[in-house]
Structure 1
């Protein structure tokens, strides 16, 4: 699993507090090995995660390095997390997709607000993206940062689509109810993409764990009861109603290792095809379209773009 602000910390994997003694840590490690061992009916992925967790905090030196935020990093995480890099490197001179709005902006604001509140009003926060600080923060705070990073990563992919596409980021909606956790606090549509293959409402997500499809919705341990496809459908409906247009597909984009398949059709919602898409497959999906999704061309494409330009509001 890729490193993410929402990835379980070694302490969370072993089921102990970050203040646990060395003896408590060892007992938890042995207990988790027994519980997760495949020969005893456990899950191989969890068994591996337990071993990785122990490698990170099993000795005094490794634990100290992890707690300082200096272990297991191939980049400077704080620099990566702090910098919004929405533009992909250009390899040619062809016109890029037209893009409006600030991808990840509202999620970053939410992260910073939560981090300041958690640290204490008036306290010197220092670097809010410092790795050890982020990893010690509550799940809600880490999820807010992960959302921002996911939206920015999707935006970099979308910027490569070409001039035939128009993109709106952080689109305001009126659908703030009937959704859970962070999404209820940020009533927005992450991305709206219009091109010859259709009109796509897109949510960029990173729950720090694997998800899968069941009965028209996404499920997974990391979701904690969320209904992300339902939430996306509500937001898409709000935007489409305001512009008097029809969304042809709903996509939830996740990191490649969060889904077993590159593109998985979830079902449909009000005539729109719904799908779970690995991030590396997103550009191809948008250029080629999804099976059963209506295409938009010619004057219809121009009319839909005009209606959206006149009605889209930004969060």
Structure 2
């Protein structure tokens, strides 16, 4: 929460400007608690957001750290750059276990598109500032912030899949049509099956209605689009997908794993990012497992057929 280019800042959730003094911040927090409390007609999800926002800026020490990390105030801010440590998971002891085989560049197409459109938005002849500066990102149009948010989501999914180990193979940014944006974010092959994975960040909670994702930030029919693209890849590689998985930020789902059953003949699951490794290890209900020589056959077919955007 609050780390996505699409997320409201802690100050926006509390309804104040970033320059508010401590007393004003405290009053705003108490007011927002009363306004959003479920017992007074508020929404539980918004009430939780208010509490989390206060945890991030409610003390001077926490506020300084938050401002520094999110581009508020005069403190030097990190960026959304792929090399910026502030936007990576907390450091862990070095893991020397073999990683999953990985091909393609996760989030690469969307980052390139973001940079290209950001240059157009800033204007020709104008010196390009740091395109990943959180303050600049916050001021950018929604479609630019959405591109960057999805790139970050794809990179986060790639880190999860890599940690599954050498029994898994993943292809990123797989072309699935003639248009440059027709792609499958990740194709994952492992003992539990062959899965097409969509990494998304809609900037807020989503729900499921008639086998599709709906929500304020959802455009079109993401699940239907994913399944259509999987059919394109399956025909080209002469393989059959075991299932489809949509990965979303943890805070955007009411439950970490929601299986939809078969949608257009394919088992589909909506999964929070923290639960993705569990799902990929155990498989989606109704999905066909693969093993033995079949894994090598599928991997070979994909290696020969996969194109990247």
Instruction: Give the TM-score of the pair, scaled to structure 1.
Output: 0.77
Between the aligned partners of 2:71 and 2:232, the Cα distance in structure 1 is 42
Which residue matches 2:108? Answer: 105
Matched, 1:173 2:176: yes
Q: C-alpha displacement at 1:169, in angstroms?
A: 0.6
| Matches of 1:155 and 1:84, distance apart in 2 | 17
Residue 201 of structure 2 is matched in structure 1 by 206
Aligned residues: 285
1:232-275 Cα offsets, whole Å, 9 max, x none, are 11111111111111111100111111112121102323432101
Q: Are the equivalent residues in 2 in contact too, given 1:175–1:234 (CA < 8 A)?
A: no
Q: Which residue of 2 aligns with 1:69?
A: 71
Residue aligning to 2:159: 156
What CA distance in whole angstroms lies between the structure 2 residues aligned with 1:33 and 1:89? 35
Q: Is the 8 A contact 1:84 1:152 kept in 2?
A: no
Out of 189, 201, 207, the position equivalent to 1:194 is: 189
Of the three residues 111, 127, 133, the one matched with 1:124 is 127
Tell me the residue number matched to 2:43: 43
Q: Contact conserved, 2:77 with 2:133, CA < 8 A, in 1? A: no
1: distance between equivalents of 2:126 and 2:135?
Answer: 17
Question: Is the contact made by 2:268 and 2:284 (CA closer than 8 Å) also made in structure 1?
Answer: no
Instruction: Give the corresponding residue for 1:59.
Output: none
Q: Contact conserved, 2:184 with 2:226, CA < 8 A, in 1?
A: yes
* Alignment of 1:269 onto 2:273: no
Which of 245, 248, 252 matches 1:254? 248
Q: 2:275 aligns with which of 255, 278, 281?
A: 281
Q: Is 2:2–2:8's contact at 8 Å kept on the other side of the alignment?
A: no
Unaligned runs of 5+ in 1: 19-28, 57-61, 177-184
SS in 2 for 1:222: coil
1:7 aligns with 2:7: yes
Q: In structure 2, what is the Cα distance between the partners aligned to 1:11 and 1:93?
A: 40
215, 220, 226: which is aligned to 2:220?
Answer: 226
The 3-state SS of whatever aligns with 1:96 is: coil
Query: What 5-or-longer segments of structure 2 have no aligned partner?
Result: 19-28, 58-62
Please give the root-mean-square deviation of Cα atoms over the aligned residues, in Å: 3.5
**Deviations 1:69-115 (CA, angstroms, capped at 9, x unpaired):** 226x9x9441x434278999674443221111111111101111111
Counterpart Cα distance in 1 of 2:99 and 2:46: 42
